């Protein structure tokens, strides 16, 4: 059957009134559609006229997006902000966020506020962030725990725009119970915790001072065990990570224990003398035993195993601080406490409180 309206549409024979009505129907009837249409035209025109760099800048202004930034725990990090390594210890979460492809260089810097501090090398990492893939800065540090002054420099790949952010990462102390539990998991020596208390002073066991910076002494000792050079300068991780510091202290004490056996045995050789043994009808080489002696409040050292503390332990304690404690001089045992009487001080520390 012949359909006049269909024929007119397909052959362009609509009246002028009908054509106007048809054109109106073809135009977007929803305002949002018009906005999208003109936005696309505008974007193409900008990029064609000014290039993609200017186009991205104008796009950012239109959308209200900010410069690249770092966030921690959902909070934007600002200049001068202080973040903390927690008691675990874990680094604060750090994520680089950007609306475009951005290259970041993050530098960690630390110098102790003491005379002639160890010059720890700055620790620097590089990451790249994009709209789809924020950069996990903490993950890029792997397992390293490090604080101090942090400088984050960023530069956009397309626009060349750049900027800088400066903030600090300080530390929080673990509980004494947590430190002691960790020491017990690493060492069975009865005096390890007492050395930790002595090194931290005031019957406390701390990695950080009240200002959040690592505890540092005049001789460049750092942290709970005041690591200095056993066998080398402490690492930046031992300065900021209390568990790594404890591991270094326990290892150092164990090595001093081996040194104590070697050095004290040499002194015992010096005390050697011959003794006539009637039963054997011969002279036998003998060594002079050290006397059983109370030192401080909690130590009772012996050479014959009559107490739980041996003189080898006393020698190891002194070696941790520096220098020998026991020597055979002029035919008798001599005890050299040193200027700070370190062995007695350690023996006055109660590791049960």
149 in any annotated domain: yes
* Domain region containing 327: 176-347
Task: Tokens for 143, please give them.
Answer: 């397992």
Residue of 202 and 209 predicted with greater confidence: 209
pLDDT-derived band at 38 (thresholds 50, 70, 90) equals low
264 in any annotated domain: yes
Model confidence at 338: pLDDT above 90: no
Residue 89: partners with Cβ closer than 8 Å, 6 or more residues away: 145, 171, 172, 174, 240, 241, 242, 243
Q: Are residues 180 and 283 in the same domain?
A: yes
Are the C-beta atoms of 70 and 140 separated by less than 8 Å?
Answer: no
61 in any annotated domain: no
62 in any annotated domain: no
- The residue among 19, 25, 62 whose CA lies nearest residue 43 is 62
Q: Are residues 120 and 189 in the same domain?
A: no
- The residue among 348, 268, 338 whose CA lies nearest residue 303 is 268
Domain boundary residue, one of 171, 188, 207: 171
Q: CA 96 to CA 105: how far, in whole Å?
A: 11
| CA distances to 93, 287, 291, 295, 303 from 307, in Å | 50, 20, 12, 12, 9
pTM above 0.75, yes or no: yes
Q: CA 203 to CA 192: how far, in whole Å?
A: 14
- Report the number of distinct structural domains present in the chain: 3
55 in any annotated domain: no
Lowest-confidence segment of 21-35, 108-122, 267-281 by average pLDDT: 21-35
Q: What is the pLDDT of residue 42?
A: 52
| CA distances to 27, 40, 100, 220 from 36, in Å | 13, 6, 22, 65
pLDDT-derived band at 58 (thresholds 50, 70, 90) equals very low
249 in any annotated domain: yes
188 in any annotated domain: yes
Q: Are residues 102 and 194 in the same domain?
A: no
Q: Are residues 314 and 216 in the same domain?
A: yes
Q: Are residues 42 and 87 in the same domain?
A: no
Q: Are residues 157 and 215 in the same domain?
A: no
Residue of 37 and 120 predicted with greater confidence: 120
Q: CA 148 to CA 169: how far, in whole Å?
A: 5
Q: Are residues 165 and 198 in the same domain?
A: no
Q: Are residues 183 and 310 in the same domain?
A: yes
Share of the chain above pLDDT 70, in %: 80
Model confidence at 2: pLDDT above 60: no
Q: What is the pLDDT of residue 72?
A: 97
């Amino acid at each position: 059957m012949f359909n006049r309206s269909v024929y007119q549409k397909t052959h362009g024979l609509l009246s002028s009134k009908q054509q106007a009505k048809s054109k109106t129907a073809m135009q977007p009837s929803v305002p949002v559609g018009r906005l999208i249409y003109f936005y696309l035209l505008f974007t193409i025109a900008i990029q064609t006229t000014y290039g993609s760099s200017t186009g991205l800048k104008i796009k950012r202004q239109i959308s209200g997006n900010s410069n690249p930034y770092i966030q921690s725990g959902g909070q934007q990090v600002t200049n001068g902000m202080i973040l903390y390594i927690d008691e675990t210890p874990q680094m604060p979460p750090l994520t680089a966020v950007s609306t475009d492809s951005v290259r970041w260089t993050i530098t960690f810097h630390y110098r102790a506020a003491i005379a002639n501090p160890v010059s720890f090398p700055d620790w620097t990492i590089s990451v790249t962030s994009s709209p789809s893939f924020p950069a996990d800065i903490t993950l890029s540090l792997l397992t390293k725990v490090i604080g101090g002054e942090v400088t984050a420099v960023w530069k956009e790949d397309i626009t060349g725009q750049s900027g800088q952010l400066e903030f600090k990462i300080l530390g929080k102390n673990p509980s004494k119970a947590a430190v002691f539990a960790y020491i017990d998991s690493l060492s069975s020596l009865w005096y390890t915790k007492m050395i930790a208390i002595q090194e931290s002073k005031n019957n406390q066991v701390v990695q950080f001072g009240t200002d959040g910076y690592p505890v540092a002494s005049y001789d460049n000792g750092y942290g709970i065990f005041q690591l200095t050079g056993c066998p080398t300068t402490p690492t930046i991780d031992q300065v900021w990570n209390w568990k790594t510091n404890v591991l270094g202290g326990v290892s150092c004490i164990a090595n001093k224990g081996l040194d104590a056996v070697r050095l004290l045995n040499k002194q015992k050789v010096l005390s050697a003398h011959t003794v006539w043994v009637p039963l054997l009808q011969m002279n036998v080489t003998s060594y002079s035993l050290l006397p059983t002696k109370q030192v401080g409040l909690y130590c009772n050292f012996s050479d014959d195993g009559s107490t739980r503390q041996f003189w080898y332990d006393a020698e190891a304690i002194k070696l941790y601080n520096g220098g020998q404690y026991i020597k055979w001089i002029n035919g008798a045992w001599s005890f050299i406490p040193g200027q700070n009487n370190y062995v007695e001080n350690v023996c006055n520390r109660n590791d049960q409180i």
